[in-house]
């Protein structure tokens, strides 16, 4: 096939035809016009009708990269062109995390943030990863065949085992609908998708901005395609040694450490709250109160009239809130101690504790699939329950709130482990000293594994770089390559 015909064939493929890409390869890098762009507001339902800058296109990728002549799927990407074309350095791809958060709106979001300056010399490119939103998003609803929910009146161990069995049945059922599609939802495969997007954009190199799970995606992409990375920034960094056990242990450990910080603060305000004059005294009272509520929950009424069952886990959730809420947290403990109505009722919408959470989209299938395909199936229920007991003993307040207790129970597909390695492209990591979602030690571990500079943000907010003043450091990094090992 001549180069002209190959280019024509591949251009038609990327526009959206579900045909093989086996003969395309890097030929797409020669011509970004292979993509058909249109204003997102004209092709994406509910897009901001006033957005005249963001344009969207489809990129075709194999469902299974081991079968390039097999099934195909389209990924939707978005773009805002560099505002200073004369200084354009290239493209910068963005992923907000999840796994499974849609990213089409990320160029517009970052353009209104403290890192907006990166859009002067870079085209900002967002995308919905495969299995999400406009890129073949799928959901798998609960089914009575999975078995009943855990009995709230049963013991903790019985509830755990009931939940494990229910999750295992659901995992087998959901993966059974389309094992080839579900098996393609992994960090390794999405990294390959990322490179197909690079090729379709006609770029030899890309820059990349990843947040939360997006840092895993970036680290894996850089490990596979280091020669195609210009500059990469990873904010709120995931652990390089991925497993749900690591995530459970380290997230509750970080939450417990923040609770001790709260206890120290409350002790210095003994005259106001009377919760104890030492951190140990305060934490002992809160832990004891949580255990009392475990045994005998209280019935309350929310301000909107909704009845609330206030149990120990509700108090634990409140105790995981951030520093700005410490005064209300202390007042809540006092009210519960004195049989009053607390100012905080633990609505999960107020401030999620820790762990990866759903967005307004149904991302649960993508999230479970990526985590379980990356790790493989969970151990048996006896092993997991032993881990649970160990965690509860080590972390008396939050040990029972691990976010991923048995997410991968019975997962029937083989593991696709991630393998982040060192590279030579420019890399800036960003860790947040007190946040429990991606604990700071993960950023330190990732730097040890793959290199790069580590900027430490002295806050407890997940992925907050684009919302604080030192977002300017991201602009400097992408524009002039200035890395930072300091704090802000």
Task: Answer yes or no: are the C-beta atoms of 211 and 463 closer than 8 Å.
Answer: yes
CB-based burial, 242-266: b 16+ in 10 Å, e otherwise: bbbbbbbbbbbbbbbebbeebbebb
- Residues contacting 216, CB < 8 A, separation 6+: 99, 187, 210, 238, 242, 418, 420
- pLDDT digits over 93-119, tens only? 999 999 989 999 999 999 999 999 999
Q: Mean pLDDT, to the nearest integer, of 282-297?
A: 94
Strands (E), 273-409: 298-301, 307-310
Angle, helices 187-201/364-375, rounded to nearest 10 degrees: 110
Q: Please report which confidence band the pLDDT of residue 36 belongs to, taking 50, 70 and 90 as the band edges.
A: very high
The structure tokens listed for 156 are 């903790």
The residue extents of the domains of the chain are 3-130+184-242+418-480, 144-181+356-401, 246-337
Instruction: Find how far residue 56's CA is from the centre of its chain.
Output: 23
Q: Please report which confidence band the pLDDT of residue 401 belongs to, taking 50, 70 and 90 as the band edges.
A: confident
Whether the predicted pLDDT of 19 surpasses 50: no
Whether the predicted pLDDT of 16 surpasses 90: no
More confident residue, 153 or 363: 153
Residue 336 neighbours by CB distance under 10 Å: 22
Residue by residue, DSSP assigns 265-310 as HHHHTHHHH-S-SSHHHHHHHHHHHHHHHHHS-EEEE-TTS-EEEE
Q: Mean pLDDT, to the nearest integer, of 121-144?
A: 94
Element (DSSP H or E) covering residue 427: strand 426-432
Q: Mean pLDDT, to the nearest integer, of 324-348?
A: 91
pLDDT at position 360 is 37
Q: Does domain 3-130+184-242+418-480 have CATH number 1.20.1070.10?
A: no
pLDDT at position 33 is 54
This prediction has a pTM of 0.89
pLDDT at position 348 is 54
């Amino acid at each position: 096939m001549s180069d002209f015909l190959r280019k024509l064939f591949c251009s038609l493929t990327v526009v959206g035809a579900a045909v093989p890409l086996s003969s395309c390869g890097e030929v797409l890098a020669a011509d970004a016009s292979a993509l058909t762009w249109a204003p997102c507001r004209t092709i994406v339902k509910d897009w901001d009708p006033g957005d005249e800058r963001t344009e969207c296109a489809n990129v075709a990728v194999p469902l299974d990269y081991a079968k390039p002549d097999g099934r195909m799927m389209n990924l939707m990407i978005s773009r805002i062109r560099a505002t200073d074309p004369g200084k354009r350095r290239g493209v910068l791809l963005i992923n907000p995390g999840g796994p499974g958060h849609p990213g089409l709106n990320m160029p517009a979001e970052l353009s209104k943030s403290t890192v907006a300056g990166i859009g002067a010399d870079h085209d900002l490119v967002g995308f919905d990863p495969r299995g999400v939103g406009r890129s073949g998003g799928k959901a798998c609803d609960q089914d009575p065949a999975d078995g009943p929910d855990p009995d709230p009146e049963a013991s903790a161990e019985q509830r755990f085992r009931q939940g494990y069995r229910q999750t295992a049945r659901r995992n087998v059922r959901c993966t059974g609908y389309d094992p080839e599609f579900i098996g393609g939802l992994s960090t390794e495969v999405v990294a390959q998708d990322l490179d197909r997007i690079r090729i379709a954009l006609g770029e030899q190199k890309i820059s990349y901005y990843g947040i939360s799970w997006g840092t895993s995606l970036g680290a894996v992409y850089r490990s596979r395609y280091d020669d195609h990375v210009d500059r990469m920034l990873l904010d709120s960094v995931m652990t390089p040694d991925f497993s749900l056990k690591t995530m459970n242990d380290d997230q509750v450990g970080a939450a417990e450490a923040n609770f001790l910080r709260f206890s120290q603060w409350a002790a210095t305000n003994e005259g106001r709250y009377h919760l104890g004059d030492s951190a140990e005294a305060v934490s002992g009272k809160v832990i004891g109160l949580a255990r009392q509520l475990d045994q005998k929950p209280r019935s309350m009424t929310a301000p909107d009239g909704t009845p609330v069952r206030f149990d120990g886990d509700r108090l634990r959730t409140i105790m995981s809130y951030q520093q700005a809420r410490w005064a209300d947290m202390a007042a809540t403990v006092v009210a519960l101690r004195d049989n009053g109505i607390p100012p905080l009722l633990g609505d999960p919408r107020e401030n999620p504790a820790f762990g990866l959470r759903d967005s307004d989209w149904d991302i649960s299938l993508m999230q479970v699939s990526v985590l379980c395909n990356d790790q493989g199936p969970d151990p048996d229920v006896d092993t997991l329950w032993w881990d649970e007991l160990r965690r509860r003993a080590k972390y008396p307040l939050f040990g029972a709130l691990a976010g991923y207790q048995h997410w991968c129970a019975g997962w029937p597909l083989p593991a696709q482990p991630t393998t982040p390695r060192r590279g030579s492209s420019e890399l800036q990591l960003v860790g947040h000293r007190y946040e429990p979602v991606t604990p700071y030690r993960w950023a330190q571990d990732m730097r040890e594994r793959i290199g790069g500079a580590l900027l430490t943000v002295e806050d407890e907010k997940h992925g907050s770089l684009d919302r604080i003043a030192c977002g300017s450091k991201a602009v400097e990094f992408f524009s002039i390559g200035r890395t930072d090992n300091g704090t802000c």
